[in-house]
Amino acid sequence: MTESDITAALRTVLADIAPESDLHRVGPEENLREELELDSMDALHVLVGLSEELGVEIPAKDYGRLTTKAAIVRYLQERSPEGRVEG
């Protein structure tokens, strides 16, 4: 799964949850909740939506780590079927 795949999924999910959000104006290391003015429920729905959209499980214990675009991309790439190293 590429960064472009994840970013496109994030845009799709945000369009449903917070259609006024402009992901382009948020830097990779900026806090998404703060920059997009998402409340805690919106932020939760974003992560659940990404999980469903991309088919990658995101346990609730990891939600606190996923606050920036860069963190979300790294996390999902590591957990995608293509990103896992079996051994």
The pair of three-digit structure tokens given for residue 83, joined into one six-digit string: 């990103």
Query: Tell me: the pLDDT tens digits for 26-73?
Result: 999 999 999 999 999 999 999 999 999 999 999 999 999 999 999 999
pLDDT at 85 (0 to 100): 43
d(CA 23, CA 20): 10
d(CA 55, CA 24): 24
Report domain extents, the chain: 3-79
d(CA 53, CA 68): 18
Give the homologous superfamily in CATH for domain 3-79.
ACP-like (1.10.1200.10)
Find out whether 63 and 47 touch, Cβ atoms under 8 Å.
yes
